[in-house]
């Protein structure tokens, strides 16, 4: 008997079903700080396409009144909160609070009303107030962009999924140091934890929702008044 193919095994198990999305999304931008988007940084790389595509999503989100939340990794100057990163990824020592490396990439043009969640772990949900913030905003769906696909993006998506927040991941809006890691992470995320979509699909979804017109107690759109009402 021939061994079962990976595709057949996934189909038999029912992996990859689409999630049911809500009407009050938020965009979460994971770690697109200069420490990761500037190739001269010890842990940085060329993420110009990821930044450009994320900016496209942010422009639509801002036009539609959709909340945007940024994250950045920042450690104390004495590294008292760096944990095991210091031994596993020594280059992370560059990500010190108050330095340019923890600042959000200016190409994303973050607005003052758009919060930055400071984290020390891989997941944006670990040891932070992100989930509480999403609850306060009555968010029922997240669009996650950023870096790295196999690291902090993946960890964040898994934690959001476990917190029962459906997630869309625009594949062109996330990046990694190696295409193999990026592709494997996207495959796994789409199979188990999120819906992987294109940038265009993510933008189209944002244009179909009107969070300011939704009742946060029910997540249902409030009926719009017509000219005759």
Phi then psi dihedrals of residue 215, to 5 deg: -85, 110
**Rounded-to-integer distance, Cα 142 and Cα 27, Å:** 6
**Neighbouring residues of 207: CB distance < 8 A, sequence distance ≥ 6:** 60, 64
**Rounded-to-integer distance, Cα 175 and Cα 209, Å:** 26
Q: What is the CA radius of gyration of the chain?
A: 18
Q: Which helix (H) or strand (E) holds 207?
A: helix 199-208
Strand ranges, E, within 48-108: 68-73
Output the furthest CA–CA distance in the chain (Å, rounded).
Answer: 70
3 state SS for 100-155: HHHCECHHHCCCCCCCEEEECCCCCCCCCCHHHHHHHCCCCEEEEEEECHHHHHHH
| Nearest Cα residue to 142 out of 67, 217, 51 | 67
Q: Do 62 and 41 form a contact (C-beta atoms < 8 A)?
A: no
152 as an active site residue: the answer is: yes
| Catalytic center residues | 152
């Amino acid at each position: 008997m021939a061994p079962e193919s990976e595709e057949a095994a996934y189909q038999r198990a029912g992996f990859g079903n689409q999630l049911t999305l809500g009407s009050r999304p938020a965009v979460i931008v994971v770690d697109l700080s200069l420490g990761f988007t500037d190739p001269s940084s010890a842990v940085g790389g060329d993420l110009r396409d990821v930044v450009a595509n994320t900016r496209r999503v942010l422009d639509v989100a801002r036009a539609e009144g959709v909340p945007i939340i940024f994250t950045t990794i920042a450690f104390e100057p004495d590294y008292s909160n760096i944990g095991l990163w210091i031994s596993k990824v020594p280059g992370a020592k560059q990500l010190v609070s108050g330095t340019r490396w923890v600042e959000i990439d200016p190409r994303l043009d973050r607005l003052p009303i758009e919060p930055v969640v400071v984290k020390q772990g891989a997941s944006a949900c670990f040891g932070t107030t992100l989930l509480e913030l999403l609850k306060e905003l009555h968010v029922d769906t997240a669009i996650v962009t950023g870096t790295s696909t196999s690291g902090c993006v993946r960890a964040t998506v898994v934690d959001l999924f476990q917190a029962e927040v459906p997630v869309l991941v625009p594949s062109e809006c996330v990046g990694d140091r190696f295409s193999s890691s990026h592709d494997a992470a996207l495959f796994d995320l789409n199979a188990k934890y999120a819906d992987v979509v294109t940038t265009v699909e993510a933008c189209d979804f944002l244009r179909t929702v009107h969070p300011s017109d939704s009742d946060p107690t029910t997540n249902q759109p409030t009926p719009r008044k017509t000219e005759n009402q």
